[in-house]
Structure 1
Amino acid sequence: MSKFGELISAKVPVLIDFYTDWNESSVAMHEVIRDVAAALGDKAKVIKIDVDKNQELADALRIKGLPTLMVYKDGQMVWRKSGELDANSLITIVQELLV
């Protein structure tokens, strides 16, 4: 979990997609997350975390629905949503945190 602390304390906002490969909504978000990462470039970090391989972290963060999307800024969670979202909405959410 200390690695997670390092990830979320980046100097830029960090968008995290908690997913599994067996969940249809999670799989549908793969392309969206790729588009978001490409659009944001180095203005933000975009990270995908497989909950099956990181069960302890998923439990600690109470990940229930998939996909679950979170944005951290300065080590603090500032936004969270479960379910699918389109790329433009996600880009807008992260861009608002860049100021």
Structure 2
Amino acid sequence: MPRKSFAELINSPGMPVLVDFYATWCGPCKTMAPILEQVAAQHQGKLRIIKIDVDRNPAVAQQFKVQSIPTLLLFSQGQPVWRQAGVVPAPQLTRALQPFLS
């Protein structure tokens, strides 16, 4: 199966896509990982979460002006609609995403 491009990944029809820009060496990113797993489980079928390693994909991070990690960027129909840098507690993240979930 061929790898999908970033544009294909964020153009998930009918479902917003939350992108976690992270790095393997980043402590706060490791803190954010279980929070994202919890949010993904709560919103299964309503939200897609993908992870982008900024060290392996610097052009994508640069394209979206990611200057610190972790940075979360929510896409709806391929367009960025919400952004947050830093660690976000699960309840706060859920509240922020709620308007975009159907």
- Structure 2 length normalisation: TM-score? 0.88
Aligned residue for 2:62, secondary structure, equals helix
Matched letter for residue 81 of structure 1:
Q
Amino-acid identity (%):
38
The superposition leaves residues 48-88 of structure 1 with CA deviations (integer Å, 9 ceiling, x where unpaired) of 11111111111111111110001011111000111110112
Q: Which residue of 2 aligns with 1:6?
A: 8
Does the alignment pair 1:53 with 2:56? yes
Matched letter for residue 3 of structure 1:
S
Give me the CA root mean square deviation: 1.3
Q: Which residue of 1 aligns with 2:81?
A: 78
Structure 1 contact 44–94 (Cα < 8 Å) conserved: no
2:44 to 38, 41, 54: 41
Structure 1 contact 18–67 (Cα < 8 Å) conserved: yes
- Structure 1 length normalisation: TM-score? 0.91
> How many pairs were matched up?
98
**Deviation of residue 95 (structure 1)?**
2.3
Aligned residue for 1:80, secondary structure, equals strand
Does the alignment pair 1:87 with 2:85? no
More helix by share: 1
Q: Which runs of 5+ in 2 are unaligned?
A: none
Q: Which runs of 5+ in 1 are unaligned?
A: none
Structure 1 contact 40–91 (Cα < 8 Å) conserved: no
**Deviation of residue 21 (structure 1)?**
1.3
**Deviation of residue 89 (structure 1)?**
1.7
